[in-house]
Structure 1
Amino acid sequence: MSSQTEHHNDVSGGPDTPLMKTEQAPATVAEHPFADPGLPEHQPRRQDIDERAAKRSERMVTLLFLTSILATVGFIVAFALIPVDEIVHIWPFGHVSALNFALGLTLGTALFCVGAGAVHWARTLMSDAEVPEERHAVGAPEPVKEDVLTEFRAGVRESGIGLGRRKLMRNTMIGAVGLVPLSGVVLLRDLGPAPGDKLFHTAWAEGVRIVNQNTGEPLRPEDITVGSLVQAAPATIDHHDEDFHAQIAKAAVMLVRIEPEDIKDPRSAEWGHEGILCYSKICTHIGCPATLYEQQTHHALCPCHQSTFDLADGARVLFGPAGHPLPQLRIGKDEEGYLVALADFEQPPGPSFWERG
């Protein structure tokens, strides 16, 4: 029994057992256990030691840039000459738009060749020597700035971008990079012709009759009762016209009849006829129909964003995001007793734009 106890004590570790040595404090670890391996020895490329290989790389880069230039020119030519509705069969895509296919192929080639030429130039001809440099504060002192500029100039000379060697390659790169943006400029043609002064003119003119937009019948003063609102249009617009929607989008109006003593704006009253006022119904915010009329207050509300106009006070804006009053159409009565316009709108109807006064 005692021998088992003594053996147990030896295993558990007494003051003289070998196990106690493993519990001693480890040796101090060096502050920098890994030495800086430094940069590997620079291995020159074939183009660095063989001028013929360098010339081949230069020709390849030049060819890529020239291909990009030709592809950009092809893009512009295709955009100008290929009809929009022309369909061609191209395997394996099937029937596709000839214009879209040509534009995609030429633009993709132009962009790819610019990128491939730049990458090939950098990998084979520009200097690839690695230069280590310690980190420093963002605001570098003057000697550091001068060193950076010196290294930059050296890199420019070694890459062949400067005025020295490889001028053809440099010039083709400038041509390719300069021409590629023309593809985007040419696409602006699809925005359509400039509107010119079309926004300033509508179908209204002196003597044009005002017709009910729903029935197409010309309106007389007695057709407009006090407190009512009638949506109207010029008689010169035909629903079957090809550009009907473009015309009515500018010329749609609303007629309201207000007691003459309730009209606050003298100019507005003068432009009306017997208390009948004619305003553009196109909201001056984003063009919704502002035809929700409250006869007690003479307010017209646009349902889209709640712009509110006081029709008794020149249709000035009372509330909402609209930028200016609804333009008023000057009206009168012709010899047959029908309501007619006496002129076009003084201000273009609809939302604001830069050229609007």
Structure 2
Amino acid sequence: MGDHSHGSPNTSGTVATAGQDGEEKFRNPGLPPHRPRLADTNPQAEKRAEKQVAALFVISIIGTLVFFIGYFGIKLEGGHTIADIRVQNLLLGLGTAFAMLGIGVGIVHWAKTLMPDHEVTEERHEIRPEEDRVIAEKMVGDIIEETGIKRRPLIRNTLLGAMVLAPLPAIAVFRDLGPLPGDTLRHTMWADGVHLTRDPSGTRIKASDVTLGSAFHVIPEGLNESEHKLEEKAKAVVLLMRLDPESLNPSPGREDWNVDGIVAYSKICTHVGCPVALYEQHTHHLLCPCHQSTFDLTQECKVIFGPAVHPLPQLPIAVDEDGYLIATSDFHEPVGPSYWERG
């Protein structure tokens, strides 16, 4: 066996060991030498890069306009075909994609080709509020100057146009998600004399149909013919149950809101609006499957467990001369999540 003392890691100098001078073995290499880009040395390349950035911002603007052509230009109300829907979806998708892609790639290309790319390091200094404010102002000024936005009006103007138009498709899409706030949730299709009907068939319900312990999913009569069926159903859907009248504890003024133990409550959870659909007959509890909020029917759907903070709104009901269940008014409070204003 030969002598390996000169080639071992501990003696060859390739590995630092305890006792060795770390500063001597591992010196700070410093920053690599700066390599100028083509746009830094060639005015024509700089101008070309500027036009490319502006072109990308223009693509973003065109994408937004394509979105609005699909959104407003193609009407889907009555007589539309599946081809119309496909064309609209294509325009909406491509318009949104190019609107976001153009402005994103444009900013990246701008930074990589035209903004200063020198690496700098600074030592931390003591915190002095007034001096820091002056330094911060200078840094902001330097950043604005480095972007070159003041001396490149083509980029500045196209960027402003793209940034103004790019958020508009999102606003249009969010507007279509549902009704605006206000008193929208204070009014539903329920009113005095409106019959309670089964969901989804729309057939009327007699009081004699509701047996002890049973539960019905209920909608107002005429909902299936409504022009805004889904929007109205989301507010007006009701759970109908029958309990022993002796187990009810109505508050003053609500003694006649039930019919021989038959009660009707909004199906929309007052937490975040999930549909309450689980009824425990033996405990008289209604459960929301989303976050397990639990409401007690014997206490006017008071919350006894879970994150909901408001009871389910009760629908006052009565019986018409033919024995069918009817509402005597709309809900007396807004339906839905508790973050809406409640009177």
Scaled to the shorter chain, the TM-score interval is: 0.5 to 0.7
Indicate whether 1:343 and 2:329 are aligned: yes
Instruction: Indicate yes or no: 2:104 matched with 1:111.
Output: yes
How much has 1:45 moved relative to structure 2?
A: 8.4
CA contact 1:64–1:114 (8 Å) conserved in 2: no
Residue 276 of structure 2 is matched in structure 1 by 289
Quote how far apart the aligned CAs of 1:233 are. Answer: 2.8
Cα offset, 1:290, TM superposition: 3.5
- Residue number among 163, 173, 189 corresponding to 1:190 in the alignment: 173
- CA–CA distance in structure 2, aligned partners of residues 252 and 147 of structure 1: 61
Contact 2:114/2:147 (CA < 8 Å) preserved in 1?
no
Alignment partner, residue 78 of structure 1: 66
From 54, 57, 73, the counterpart of 1:66: 54
Gaps of 5+ in 2: 1-19, 75-83
Distance change >3 Å, CA 247–CA 188, structure 1 → 2 = same
Cα distance per residue 1:301-326 (max 9 Å; x no partner): 44554432221221111122333211
1:120 to 89, 92, 113: 113
Does the aligned pair in 2 maintain the 1:281–1:291 contact within 8 Å? no
Give SS of 1:309's match: strand
Match for residue 22 of structure 1? Answer: none
Indicate how the Cα distance of structure 1 residues 236 and 120 shifts in structure 2: closer, same or farther if over 3 A, else same. Answer: same
Secondary structure at the aligned position of 1:81 is classed as helix
> What is the TM-score of this pair, normalised by structure 2?
0.67
State the alpha-carbon separation in 1 of the partners of residues 54 and 249 from structure 2.
71
Counterpart contact for 2:56–2:106, Cα < 8 Å:
yes
Aligned to 2:338: 352
Per-residue CA distance 1:176-208 (angstroms, 9 max, x = gap): 444444313323312344503443332211111
After TM superposition, the structure 1 = structure 2 runs for residues 202-217 of structure 1, keeping only pairs within 5 Å, are 202-213=188-199, 216-217=202-203
Q: Is the 8 A contact 2:300 2:311 kept in 1?
A: yes
Deviation at 1:341, TM superposition (A): 0.6
Change (3 A) 1:279 1:172: same
Deviation (angstroms), 1:111: 2.9
Which residue of structure 2 lines up, in the alignment, with residue 250 of structure 1? 235
Contact 1:329–1:345 (CA under 8 A) maintained in structure 2: yes
TM-score by length of 1: 0.65
How far, CA to CA, are the matches of 2:202 and 2:27 in structure 1?
94
Q: Which is worse superposed, 31-40 or 221-230? A: 31-40
| Matched letter for residue 237 of structure 2 | A
Partner of 2:90: 97
Change (3 A) 1:115 1:224: closer
Alignment-derived partner of residue 314 in structure 2: 328
Aligned letter for 1:325?
A: P
**How big is each residue's C-alpha offset from its partner over 1:66-103, in whole Å with a ceiling of 9 and x where there is no partner?**
32342232122111113574659xxxxxxx93553454
Amino acid at match of 2:276: P
Letter in 2 for 1:294: Q
In structure 2, the residue matched to 1:92 is none
* Distance in 2 (alpha carbons) for counterparts of 1:43 and 1:224: 83
Provide the residue aligned with 1:8 in structure 2. none
Q: Check 1:39–1:264 CA distance in 2 against 1; reply closer, same or farther (3 A cut).
A: closer
- Distance in 2 between the 1:215 and 1:86 partners? 31
The structural deviation recorded for 1:110 is 3.5
Contact 1:110 1:180 in 2 (8 A): yes
Q: Which has the larger radius of gyration?
A: 1
Cα 1:35–1:151 change in 2 (3 A) is: farther
Equivalent residue runs for 1:227-246 within 5 Å: 227-238=213-224, 244-246=229-231
| Aligned residue type for 1:81 | I
Q: How many residues align?
A: 306
What is the Cα deviation at residue 37 of structure 1?
Answer: 8.6
Moved more, 336-345 or 76-85: 76-85
In the alignment, is the contact (CA less than 8 A) between 1:71 and 1:107 conserved in 2? no
Task: Give how far 1:153 is off.
Answer: 8.9
SS of structure 2 residue aligned to 1:97: helix
Contact persistence 1:272–1:332 (CA under 8 A): yes
Shift of 1:342: 1.1
CA distance in 2, matches of 1:291, 1:40: 67
Q: Distance in 1 between matches of 2:140 and 2:204?
A: 80
Partner SS for 1:264:
coil
Identity %: 32
Q: Map of 1:35-46 to 2, 5 A cutoff?
A: none
Asked whether 1:309 is paired with 2:295, we answer yes
RMSD, aligned α-carbons = 4.5
Cα distance in structure 2, aligned partners of 1:65 and 1:188? 26
CA distance in structure 2 between the partners assigned to 1:153 and 1:321 by the alignment: 46
Residue 219 (structure 1) aligned with residue 219 (structure 2): no
Measure the CA separation in 1 of the matches of 2:110 and 2:141.
22
